[in-house]
Amino acid sequence: SIPSGATIANSGTATGFNQITMIDQFRLSASIAGANHVIDANWERPDTGISAQFGSIQMSQSSGVFTFPSTGFYKIDFIALISYGNVADNQTLIKTEITTDNANYTTYAEALAGSNSSSNNSRFSVSSSIIVDITDTTNQKCQFKGSSFESSNVVLEGDSSINMTVATFTRIGDT
């Protein structure tokens, strides 16, 4: 059944409610070694080729803390490319953390890379995805945190011309 106020377009999809109104993306513009902390540097919006964002209002980012532009349901996708340069303990955990009071963060998603036994060079790409209901844009924010980075031989990869480590925020509907 179709919700009240919605209509069916010629394509057979419902329109008039809970439509995607924003897609925004950030990537690391340069690699970060030994990131045992909030990933707080080198964030940029992709600007190469036909890269694009959608919507009139976008996410804002300061020192790795992402602020939502309006209330609503958001899908947060995070992909990280991690390289290990000849380290014995090559396990890395990337966390997506949310605060509801603009101070204390809780882990909502994790992505783990590594084998904890290799002493050779290796690379892993990991991802996580969550959906959150943002009802307070002043206090509810997002950050990404690396942990278990053994040393400077463990690198969260970034590049200013292609997406290697990237966060995508999609507003999927009204709260």
pLDDT band at 56 (very low <50, low <70, confident <90, very high): confident
Cα–Cα nearest to 124, from 157, 153, 76: 157
> What's the rounded Cα separation, in Å, for the pair 175 and 71?
7
Which pLDDT score, from 0 to 100, does residue 8 have?
A: 46
Arithmetic mean of pLDDT over the chain:
82
* Range scoring the smallest mean pLDDT among 53-57, 156-160, 167-171: 53-57
Q: What is the pTM of this model?
A: 0.81
Name which residue leads in pLDDT, 91 or 121: 91
